[in-house]
Amino acid sequence: MKLIIYTSVFLIISNFAFADVKINKCDNIKNDHQKANCLTKLKAQAIKEDSKKKINIIESKLEKTHKKIGRTVKKTEKGVANLAKKVQKTKKNIDEKGRKIRKSIDEKVSNFFKKKQNKIKEFNKKKK
């Protein structure tokens, strides 16, 4: 009985140790980040198997995937930079409009108080 258990354990372990790496396993994945992750795992399996041909094939696929990811990152960075410029311009315009409004309000308030002070002075002069 022990012999059967030992044999089955040995066969299971040897199957995992000498498992054939399927190079095309990650080709159907659409998400580039998941594809890169899958290819990295395949590369690790190929290294364990010590198959230079498979490693080279997987490495070239990984390189292509990284280039795709790099392009999308550059596009995203450009978009973010353009958005930041637009936000900065909008903020500047709002600040300028705010300053103008504040200045006009300050002038109106100061004129209002000056008029009231003048009326008080006139009233005080009439009393005397």
How do residues 79-116 score in pLDDT, each as one tens digit? 888 888 888 899 999 999 999 999 999 999 999 998 88
Q: How confident is the model at residue 128 (pLDDT cuts 50, 70, 90)?
A: low
Sign of CA dihedral 128, 119, 116, 100: negative
Taking residues 4-26, what's their average pLDDT?
62
**Rounded distance between C-alpha atoms, residue 45 and residue 55, angstroms:** 9
Give the tens place of pLDDT for each residue, 34-77.
888 888 888 888 888 877 888 888 888 888 888 888 888 788 88
